[in-house]
Chain A
Amino acid sequence: MDDKIVFTYDVPADDFSRAGEASSDVKSKLKQLGTPPDAVRKVAIAMYEGEINMVIHANGGTITVEISPRQVRMVLRDRGPGIPDVDLAMQEGYSTAPDEIRNLGFGAGMGLPNMKKYTDEMHIETELGVGTTITMTVNL
C-alpha cells in the first residue's frame, strides 16, 4: 500500500529563471491528489519562499517533500553559509540581501516569517560554514 509519496528536487544556485520550479511542481501534484485547496496554497507559498532563499542566500541545495494523507513535510537542505542569528533572521523586515537582489523585488525580509506563518510547524537547523536545513510541515 502506498500511503505516502516522496519527491526530491535539486535547486540550482543563482538561477532566478528556474527558482520556483520545485514548488510549482509540488503544487500541481497536490492538486492532482485532491489535497484541500487551502493546504495547497500554504505549501506553495511556504515552499516557494524557502526555494528562493536557497537560490539567493545559499547556492542552491535539495528539497525533499513527503506527502501523506495527514501532512505535507518539506525538508530544504543547503550547504550555504548558515544563518548566524536565527531569531534575528526570523524577524519581519530583516534581510541581508544586497541591492541587486532587492532590485529584483526580493529582500523585503518577509520570507522566513511567511514560511512560519503558512506552516503548522517549522524547524531551522543551521551551522555557520556548513549549511542550513529547514523542515516545515503543513497538516491536512
Chain B
Amino acid sequence: MDKFYHSVHLEPDLCKGCINCIKRCPTQAIRVRDGKARINARFCIDCGECIRVCPHHAKQAVYDKIDVLKQYEYTVALPAPSLYSQFNSLDDVEIVLNALLYLGFDDVYEVSAGAELVSEATRRYLTEHEENLPAISTACPTVVRLIRVKFPNLIPNLLPLNPPVEVAARLALMRAMEKSGLPREKIGIVFISPCPAKYTYTKMPLGTAKSEVDCVLAIKDVYQLLLPYMKVVGQDREELALSGKIGISWGRSGGEASGLFTDNYLAADGIENVIRVLEDMEDQKFTQLKFVELNACNGGCVGGVLTVENPYVAEAKLQRLRKYMPVSKSHIEGAQGSVVPWDAQVEFEPVFHLGNNMMQSLTRLNQVERLCKRLPGLDCGSCGAPTCKALAEDIVRGDRSEKDCIYFLRDSLHKLSDEVAALVLGWGADDKRDRESVRILKEYMQRISDEMALLDRGKP
C-alpha cells in the first residue's frame, strides 16, 4: 500500500467547489480545481477537519460496514473507550460489551485494556530513556503523520510503542485463535473507531510493519445498532471488561498522561494547538517535561469525527463512568510485553520542500517572494488555493499559473481591452485597414475570449 494512503476523500458529486475546506486544512493539502476540491495525498494527515467543516458533506471517510462480519467465522469487537462516552446515563460498560455480543460478535476485547499495557510500558520507558524526553505520545495517528512530514527534529521524541488499538488487536487475536482453534484468516479483528485516521493506521501503520486489525467500523454506525440491544442486556450479563480508570481515561485529552503518575507533562488537543506545541517543542521552549500528550481532535478521541456526541458532553460522561471503576485491570504479563514496542522506525518525509535540492528550492523561494509581492494578498481563495502564498508555491512548483488569480486575470483583461481600444480608435474613417492591423486585432480578441473562458472555469 502507498505510504501516503489516507482515508479522507472527496465525493465529487456533492462538492460545490466552495473554499471552506481549503481554508481549514492545517497542512494546506486541499485545492479547488475545475470546481472540485482535491486532496494532495502527500500533505494529508487524515485529521478530519475538512469532514467537520464541509457544509455539503462532500468530504467523507473510508471505513467498513457491519456486514463485514459475514466474511469471518469468528469475530472480535475492539471498542475504543470513546464509544462508552456516547451513551446517556451508562453506568456499567458491561452493558455495551454484552450488547456487542448480541450484535453478532463472538468476543469483545477492550481497546482500553491495551491502553493500560501501553501506560505501563510508557512509565518504564520514561525512566529508562531520559535521553529522548520529553516523549511524544504516538496514540493519535494524525499526530504521528504530522510529525513525519513537518517535524523531523522531533521524530526521536516519538514514544516507540504501539497504540492501544494495536496492542488490543494482537492480544485479542491470540485469545481468539486459542478459543476458536481457527486459522488466522477465518478470524476478524474489528475495531470500532472514533476517526478515519485510525482506519488509515490499520491499513498503513507507522511504527509497525503490519496491523492485526482487519476491519474498522465507525462509532456513529455501531452506536445506533447497539441501542436496542443495550436495553435487553440483563443482570445475567457476562463479565467482559478488562480495564479500569486508567484505560478508559485514554478516550479524552489528558487521560493518557494521567496514567503515567508524573506531573511533568503537557496535554494539548485540537490540531491547531498540537501544531503550536510541536513548534515550541522544536525550539526547545519546554524544559523538564517528561511527556507530551497530543490529540488531533478537540477534547481527545471523544471529539473524533466519527462520533456522535458533543466532545465536551462525552468527556463528562466518561468522567462519570470512571467513578465506579478500579484503577486498572490489565497488567503486562509474560509474553504480552512483546506486543507493545514498535518494530519499525518512522522516517521523515520531506513533502513540503519547494524543490528537489537546496539550490532549486532557493530559486523557487525567491520566485515565491516575488510573486507574493504581485499577488493582491487578499487570501480570497478564488484561485482554489488557501492563500496567495500557497498559490505562489503552486505556481513555482509548476502546478498553476498567475492567471489562476482572478485579480491578476482581471488586470490582464483590462490591459488587453485597452490595447484593442487604442488600436481601433487609431483607425480613421476611410483608412484602408491593412492586413496587419486586422491580424493584431483578431489576436487580441482571441486572447480576450481565452481569458474570459478562464474566468468561467471553476464555475459549476
Contacts and interface: CB of A to CB of B under 8 A. Distances in A.
A29 B365 contact: yes
Contact of A3 (B153, B283, B362): B362
A37 B153 contact: yes
B310 interface: no
Contacts of B361: 32-34
A8 B363 CA distance: 18
Interface in A17-76: 23-24, 27, 29, 31-35, 37-38, 40-41, 44-45, 48, 67-69
For chain B, give the interface size range.
20 to 34
Contacts of B282: 27, 41, 44
For chain A, give the interface size range.
20 to 34
A4 interface: yes
Contacts of A45: 283-284
Contacts, number: 61
Nearest to B358: A69
A25 to B, nearest CB: 11
B270 interface: no
Contacts of B429: none
B145 to A, nearest CB: 16
A32 to B, nearest CB: 5
Contacts of A1: 363
B127 interface: no
A2 B352 contact: no
A23 B284 CA distance: 13
A33 B363 contact: no
Given A34-B350, A45-B284, A40 B153 contact: yes
B358 A33 contact: yes
A45 to B, nearest CB: 6
A34 B358 contact: yes
Given A24-B279, A44-B283, A34 B359 contact: no
B348 interface: yes
A5 interface: yes
B358 A2 contact: no
B352 A33 contact: no
A32 B357 contact: no
B35 interface: no
Interface in B207-261: none
Given A24-B279, A34-B357, A4 B362 contact: yes
B152 interface: yes
Contacts of A40: 153
| Chain B interface main SS type | helix
Interface string B343-357: 000001010111101
B366 to A, nearest CB: 4
B358 A5 contact: no
A2 B366 contact: yes
A31 B363 contact: no
A115 to B, nearest CB: 13
A124 to B, nearest CB: 22
B355 A69 contact: no
Instruction: With a 10 A CB-CB cut-off, give which of B361, B366, B369 has the most chain A CB atoms.
Output: B361
Nearest to A49: B283
A33 B359 CA distance: 8
Contact of A5 (B279, B348, B355, B369): B369
Contacts of A37: 152-153, 348
A68 B365 CA distance: 12
B150 interface: yes
Contacts of B150: 31
Contacts of A23: 283
Nearest to A40: B153
B362 A69 contact: yes
Contacts of B355: 34
A33 B353 contact: yes
Given A33-B354, A41-B283, 17 more contacts: A1-B363, A2-B362, A2-B363, A2-B366, A3-B359, A5-B366, A29-B365, A31-B150, A31-B352, A33-B353, A33-B358, A34-B361, A37-B152, A40-B153, A41-B284, A45-B284, A69-B358
Interface of A: 1-5, 23-24, 27, 29, 31-35, 37-38, 40-41, 44-45, 48, 67-69, 140
18 contacts: A2-B366, A3-B362, A23-B283, A24-B279, A27-B282, A31-B352, A32-B352, A32-B353, A32-B393, A34-B350, A34-B355, A34-B357, A34-B361, A37-B348, A40-B153, A44-B282, A69-B358, A140-B358
- Complex A-B, nearest 9 residue pairs according to Cβ-Cβ distance, in ascending order: A2-B366, A37-B152, A34-B353, A33-B361, A2-B363, A69-B358, A37-B153, A32-B354, A44-B283
